[in-house]
Structure 1
Amino acid sequence: MCLLELKNINKYYKISGSNKFHVIKDVNVSFNKGELVSIIGESGSGKSTLMNLIGGLDSNYSGELLVNGKDISKLRKKELDTYRKSKVGFVFQSFNLISHLSILDNVTIAMTLSNVKKKARIKRAKEILSELGLENQINKKPSQLSGGQKQRVAIARALINNPEIIIADEPTGSLDSKTTMQVLEILRNIAEKGKLVIMVTHSEKVASCSSRVVKIADGKIISDDEIFKFENTYNLEDSSSNQKRFKFFGIRGKNLGIISAVKLALKNMKEKFARNIFLSIGGSIGIMSVILMLSLGNGVKTYFNTMMNSHVNPLVIEVNMPSEEDDKTIDLDVAKIQKPEINKEKSFEDTDIQKLSQIENVSQIEKGYTLISMGSNSLSYNGKGSNLIRLSTISSNITESNIQEGSLPKEGEILINKAVSDKLGGDVVGQKVTLNLLLNQKTVKAEFVVSGIENASGDLSSIIKSVFLNYSDLEKIYSENNSALKPNVMYINTTSEKYTPAIKEKVKEFGYSGSSQEQMTSMFNEMINITTYALSGIAAISLIVSAIMIIVVMYISVVERTKEIGIIKAIGARRKDIRRIFVCEAFLIGVFSGVIGLVFSYAVMNGINTMSNKLFNINVVIIKNSYAAFGVGVSIIISILSGILPANKASKLDPVESLRRE
């Protein structure tokens, strides 16, 4: 059985409309192992087209093209890629080496596409390069070699996957006479070892060195002459073994892996290092903007929450009864607010107190009472007075850190805030004052000693005139005036701060509400979040610009590397492999953009925080790890999405047309 057989092969090229040019006409020819065949003819005779058909670069023809009895015209695209990768090796007139890869990488690229391990492919490449006298050139670039050396590298690349067929397109066309004889001798030795070597040439001198000469003119074979036969120095059994090693019919071989694609993409990107760096910096601006906007919102929110929580004992949870209408509804009727009996909220009953005390990790329950009034309650001292808006009982929620001056109130003492202190003359700590309290439609009086002034920083106390006293003192006032004081707020003490969130959730499950401070904090946090997301959305517009920039640069890269793509396809790269290489390049641009953007973000954060600490003693910008991960992730996703269209374009390029591109 012949190794290669062509039966009734016809090939047409479309010219315009329905017009066609018949370039290959009823070609019937067969070839065997161990032959050095020259296909000779003038330019335009169809010899290069025939080479493309045999090499699997062009599958648009009629007839049968049999390799080991299998018709490659019936192969699917993936199988045809495997055929070029394992059965055929190409040697081109213009060498077609990839300029930015080393000699070693140029030779091993076919094995890289087969996902062969690095150690194995380097060993194989060094063996072949050593046989061709290039063992000292492996780390050089193609531009550093002579024409003869380049052609030997191309031959080494063709042999790397141990193919059965070597196709050489004008292999000596760019060489001087001495180098021509050296290359022909190498091809002759390859044929003697059992390979089928087909040379396409127009040179009679080159053809004279062949064992067989096939002449073609106007798309037809006009002569087929056997000059001589090589001695059977090759072992057909070994050849059969090699054939088993590189099967391509019905068996799916290994293909380019992700890690290999990333490494190849990195090597490709080094060729345009400066451009890729500037592209990454351009993409990083959008990422940096989004990270900084999110971090600015986080810094402001953290400062606000810290400020609010600094005056609250983390071990104490304030619990309020929901209002009769809706605990989110605030009645602003001044007439109602001025009347204590209408102002009263729902009180905690014994069942409520028992339910709260049974919550896990609760160490103690404190009763409390808060009264809001406008003009009905007041505090007087030394002929001066101050109307009170809020009267509250003291609890463990207020600590020494909340005291600006003096101390927490003991029995018979009250704590006032700065707004009340200013109204009474300022220097009232340790002085006796009179509390005027509207109770049961009459004003009752009680004397107290001012224990201290509350630190109003970060709280509405700075403008709301407030006093704080012990629950037992207020209860005594109510009792002396034939009234019963019932708590309208409870303070839950926890055993550890780590249990506070769980207890708050349990309180909400029972239908109670949290403190007014928590509600206000929640409202402000929501406002900050909305503002942050709005600013981040505006900043994200620059990401669209980055995406467009990546698409443009990737398309330019496809155009610049058209011939490189053709070379890779000629040695067996699948469409998927080409896509994978370009998408990996886009992925790397995304990684670099994200990392650069993150570095810039931290640099800007440190600069802003240095200034804000000097001016306000706060950190305005705080980058969370989640923001950093989000920024890098978004950068990668946008880059990959931007690279898909150019990658698809690259994968669809015709290898024959690509190889013609200069």
Structure 2
Amino acid sequence: MKLLELKNVNKYYNLAGTQRYHALTNVNVSFEKGELVSIIGESGSGKSTLMNLIGGLDSDFSGELLVEGKNIGTFSEKELDRYRKNKIGFVFQSFNLIPHLSVLDNVTIAMTLSNVSKDKRVKRAEEILKDVGLEKHIHKKPNQLSGGQKQRVAIARALINDPEIIVADEPTGALDSQTTSQVLDIITDIARSGKLVIMVTHSEKVASYSSRVIEISDGQIVADKKGIDIDDLNVAEVSADTAEKDKQNLSFFSSIKLAFLNMKEKKTRNILVSLGSSIGIMSVILMLSIGNGVKGYFNNTMKNYVNPLVVEVNMPQDKSKSPLPADDPRSNMFSMMGSQTPFEEKDIEKLKGIKNVKSVEEGFNLISLGTNSVTYNDKKTAVMAVATISSNITSSNIKKGSLPKKDEIVLNEALAKKLGDDIVGKKITLNISIDEHSYKNDFTVSGIYSPGATTPMSDMDMTYVNYNDLKELLKNENYELKPTTMYLITDNKNYTEGIKSEIEKLGYGGSSQEIMTKMFTQMIDMITYVLAGISGISLLVSAIMILVVLYISVVERTKEIGVLKAIGARRKDIKRIFVSEAFLIGLFSGVIALGISSIIMMAANTVSNKAFGINVVNITPAYALFGVGASIIISMIAGIMPASKAAKLDPVESLRRE
């Protein structure tokens, strides 16, 4: 059985309109192993077209092209890829070496596409490079080699997968006479080893080395002459390694390595692209981290605002009073304004029965807008909230003066500033409205309350009185005061969360501080996400930039893509290489963004700690992973279109690109 046989092969090219050019006409020819064949003819005679058909670069023809009895004209795209990878070795006139790869990597690229282990492919490449006299140049780049050396690298690349057919397009066209002889001697030795070598050439010297010369004119074979005898043939069988690699393809890690080598060639450009892309990711990370830092600060200060041994309990709020939706935490604040549902004796007994509750205190909170006030020296000032003193407030919270005794009142700092710095010890009149009835009484200011840090409630004008004083005041006006707030006291702060959980199960509400904290936390989250979203617009710009850069890369490397396809790279392999480049750009962008964000965080926190004693930026591991992950995903999405374009390039057209 012939190794290669063409039967009635015809090839047409579509021209403008409906015209067709008949490039090959009824070609009938066969080849055996060990032949060294030269195909000669004028330019445009069909030599290169015939070479492309034999090499599996073009499968659009009629007739039969049989390789070991199998018609490659009926092969699927995957079968053609395997055919080029394992059966064919290409040697090009212009060498077509990949400039950013070393000699070793240029030779092993075909085995890399077959996912052969590094040790095996390096060993094989070193053996072949030694055979062609380049063992001392394996780490050089192509631009460091002479023309003859480059062609020997191309020959070594063609032999690396131990193909049965070598197709050489003008293999000596770019060489001087001395180097031509050296290359032809190597090619002759290849034929002696039992491989079929087919050379397309104009050179009579090249043809004189051949065992057979086929002349083609106007797409037809016009002569088939016997040349010199090539003796000492040793026809080789396909090795076990070759058979095994037929089932393997480019691995993910190999594609990453190739992508990294490609990116090193345009190092400055890729660094700038990664840096530009990192700006958007950095902005998003910082916006989220600032929101997280502020939110953490509020939560910590609110925890410091209360006694850890005291749990505040409120009756469930009637959210029908609120103009906001029931699931909006701010509706709690509206429902707390004015009169509230008081605790009955049965409620108090339930709370007393909660495990680890040592004692309970009754309390009263009244929040209003403009109905409550204090008067001092004929100066009337609105009070946002009136509350009773509890174990939640200790003497450490009193900035000036002391906790109130009978008929005494405490003002918070915001209200005290409005009434005057010397307000402690002075008498003021408290005016409150409960159930649409107004009550007033004179109290002596015993102290000024401070939570110890800025909190969401710090700017509210608030007063604190003893529960019994308020109860007695209202009793004198024939109004029975019932507690709207209960304070559960435990003897170990570790019990606090369990008590809160039990309170929730019983259907009661938490403290006003917790409600405030939840409200402000939600507001901070909303602002943070809006700012992060605005910052995220730059991510779209980054994606477009990456897409453009990768499109440029496809155009720049069109010939390289043609070479990869000629040595058996699948569409999937080409696509994987370019997507891997997008992955690396995204990874580098994310890492750069995270690094710059961390530096900014340290600088900002140093300043904020000195000025306010807080960390204003808090980058969590989740934000760091989100930033890097988002960068990678956006880059890979942007890389899909250029990668698809690269994968769809026609190998013949790609190899013609200068």
Please indicate, yes or no, whether the TM-score normalized by the shorter chain is above 0.5.
yes
Give the equivalent residue in structure 1 for 2:616. 620
Deviates more, 1:496-505 or 1:529-538: 496-505
Q: 1:319 maps to what in 2?
A: 313
Of the structure 1 ranges 364-373 and 195-204, higher mean CA displacement relative to structure 2 is found in 364-373
Contact 1:385 1:423 in 2 (8 A): no
Counterpart of 1:464 (choices 461, 468, 492) is: 461
Q: Classify 1:119/1:365 alpha carbon distance in 2 versus 1 (closer, same or farther; 3 Å).
A: farther
| 2:328 match | none
Distance 1:411 1:252 in 2: 95
Q: Give the distance between the partners of 2:174 and 2:426, measured in 1 at CA.
A: 109
Instruction: Provide the rounded CA distance (Å) in 2 between the counterparts of 1:467 and 1:443.
Output: 16
Q: Distance in 2 between matches of 1:290 and 1:376?
A: 44
**CA spacing shift, 1:227–1:361, aligned 2, 3 Å:** farther
Aligned equivalents of 1:140, 1:216: Cα separation in 2: 39
Give yes or no for the alignment of 1:211 onto 2:211. Answer: yes
Q: Secondary structure at the match of 1:100?
A: coil
Code of the residue aligned with 2:634 in structure 1: it is I
Q: Which amino acid aligns with 1:310?
A: N
> Are 2:29 and 1:25 equivalent residues in the alignment?
no
* Cα distance in structure 2, aligned partners of 1:307 and 1:348: 29
Q: 1:19 Cα deviation (Å)?
A: 1.0
Partner of 1:59: 59
Q: Retained in 2: the 8 A contact 1:283–1:546?
A: yes
Distance in 1 separating the partners of 2:529 and 2:143: 53
Q: Which moved more, 1:223-232 or 1:53-62?
A: 223-232
Specify the code of the residue in structure 2 equivalent to 1:288: M
Distance apart, 1:428 and its partner CA = 7.2
Equivalents in 1 of 2:36, 2:571: separation in Å?
A: 32
Q: Quick one: structure 1 residues 112 and 459, their matched pair in 2 at CA, closer, same or farther if it must change by over 3 Å? A: closer
Alignment correspondent of 2:330:
none
Q: 1:315 to 1:28 in 2, by over 3 A?
A: farther
| Residue equivalent to 2:286 | 292
Q: Deviations over 1:342-401 (max 9, x none)?
A: 9653222344334445556656544323356888897999x9999977543333322344
Q: Is the 8 A contact 1:377 1:438 kept in 2?
A: no
1:81–1:380 Cα change, 3 Å: closer
Match of 2:364 in 1: 369
CA–CA distance in 1 between the matches of 2:132 and 2:523?
Answer: 73
The one-letter amino acid of 1:568's match is: L
What residue number does 2:390 align with?
395
1:640 aligns with 2:633: no
Deviation at 1:639, TM superposition (A): 1.1
**Aligned pairs, number:** 642
Alignment partner of 2:510 out of 506, 510, 514: 514
User: Deviation of residue 633 (structure 1)?
Assistant: 1.8
Secondary structure in structure 2 of the residue aligned to 1:246:
helix
- Equivalent residues of 2:114, 2:246 under 8 A apart: no
Identical positions, percent: 60
Matched to 1:284, the amino acid is: S
Alpha-carbon separation, structure 2, partners of 1:359 and 1:424: 42
Q: Letter of the aligned partner of 1:634 in structure 2?
A: A
Q: Quick one: structure 1 residues 29 and 549, their matched pair in 2 at CA, closer, same or farther if it must change by over 3 Å?
A: same
Equivalent position of 1:147 in the other structure: 147
Question: Counterpart in 1 of 2:332?
Answer: none
Q: Does the 8 Å CA contact 2:365/2:485 hold for their aligned counterparts?
A: yes
Aligned mates of 2:120, 2:551 — CA distance in 1: 34
Shift in Å, 1:201: 1.2
Q: Does 1:535 align with 2:531?
A: yes
Distance in 2, Cα, partners of 1:279 & 1:420: 55
1:157 deviates by 0.4
Is the 1:612–1:620 contact (alpha carbons within 8 Å) kept by the matching residues of 2?
Answer: yes
Q: What CA distance in whole angstroms lies between the structure 2 residues aligned with 1:659 and 1:386?
A: 86
Equivalent residue for 1:345, pick from 335, 340, 344: 340
Instruction: Determine the C-alpha separation between the residues in 2 that align with 1:202 and 1:222.
Output: 16
Cα deviation, 1:88-139, whole Å, max 9, x if unaligned, reads 1111111110111100000010011111111211111111111211111000
Deviations 1:493-523 (A, max 9, x none): 4676676566545544543222333323333
Do the aligned partners of residues 401 and 134 (structure 1) sit closer, same or farther apart at CA in structure 2, a change above 3 Å counting? farther
Do the aligned partners of residues 553 and 387 (structure 1) sit closer, same or farther apart at CA in structure 2, a change above 3 Å counting? closer
Return 251-260 or 166-175, whichever deviates more.
251-260
Deviation at 1:446, TM superposition (A): 9.6
- For 1:312 and 1:30, the matched residues in 2 are separated by 95
2-side partners of 1:445 and 1:636: how far apart? 67
1:224 aligns with 2:221: no
1:455 aligned residue: 450
> What SS class does the counterpart of residue 104 from structure 1 fall into?
helix
After the TM superposition, which residues 478-497 of structure 1 pair with which residues of structure 2 at under 5 Å, given as runs? Answer: 486-493=482-489
User: What SS does the corresponding residue of 1:199 show, helix, strand or coil?
Assistant: strand
Match of 1:175 in 2: 175
The aligned counterpart of 1:555 is: 551
SS in 2 for 1:139: coil
Give the Cα–Cα distance (whole angstroms) in 1 for the partners of residues 425 and 114 of structure 2.
89
- Asked if the contact 1:436/1:446 (under 8 Å) is kept, the reply is no
Q: Secondary structure at the match of 1:310?
A: helix
Shift of 1:458: 3.3
The equivalent residue for 1:283 is 277
- In the alignment, is the contact (CA less than 8 A) between 1:6 and 1:65 conserved in 2? yes
**1:405 aligned to 397, 400, 414, which one?**
400
Cα drift, residue 182 of structure 1: 1.3
Shift of 1:644: 1.0
How many Å apart are 1:181 and its aligned residue?
1.5
Distance between the aligned counterparts of 1:292 and 1:376, measured in 2? 42
- When structure 1 is superposed on structure 2, of 361-370 and 397-406 the one drifting more is 361-370
Give the one of 626, 633, 653 matched to 1:630: 626
- Classify 1:125/1:446 alpha carbon distance in 2 versus 1 (closer, same or farther; 3 Å): same
Q: Deviations over 1:271-307 (max 9, x none)?
A: 1111111111111122222222223333333344444
- 2:313 maps to a residue whose letter is V
- AA at the equivalent of 2:251: G
User: Residues 495 and 595 of structure 1: is their aligned pair in 2 closer, same or farther, counting only changes over 3 Å?
Assistant: farther
Letter matched to residue 187 of structure 1:
I
CA shift in 2, pair 1:59/1:421, >3 Å: closer
User: C-alpha separation between the residues in 2 aligned to 1:122 and 1:149?
Assistant: 19
**In 1, distance between residues paired with 2:618 and 2:499?**
29
Q: Which runs of 5+ in 1 are unaligned?
A: 331-341
Question: 1:271 matched to which residue of 2?
Answer: 265
Cα distance in structure 1, aligned partners of 2:152 and 2:380: 105
Instruction: Look up the equivalent residue of 1:287 and give its one-letter code.
Output: I
1:524 to 509, 517, 520: 520
Name the counterpart of 1:112.
112
Amino acid at match of 2:131: E
State the TM-score, normalizing by the size of structure 2.
Answer: 0.87
Contact in 2 for aligned 1:311/1:401 (Cα 8 Å): no
1:432–1:543 distance in 2 versus 1, CA, 3 Å: closer
**Would the alpha carbon gap of residues 461 and 6 (structure 1) be closer, same or farther in structure 2, given more than 3 Å must change?**
closer
Q: Is the 8 A contact 1:327 1:513 kept in 2?
A: no
Partner AA of 2:390 in structure 1? S
RMSD: 3.5
SS at structure 2 position matched to 1:603: helix
Aligned partners of 1:294 and 1:351: how far apart in 2?
Answer: 46
Q: CA deviation at 1:625?
A: 2.8
Residue 99 of structure 1: aligned partner: 99
Q: Residues 605 and 424 from structure 1, CA distance in 2 versus in 1: closer, same or farther, beyond 3 angstroms?
A: closer
What is the alpha-carbon distance in structure 1 between the residues aligned to residue 550 and residue 416 of structure 2? 70
Relative distance call for 1:119 and 1:361 in structure 2 (3 A) is farther
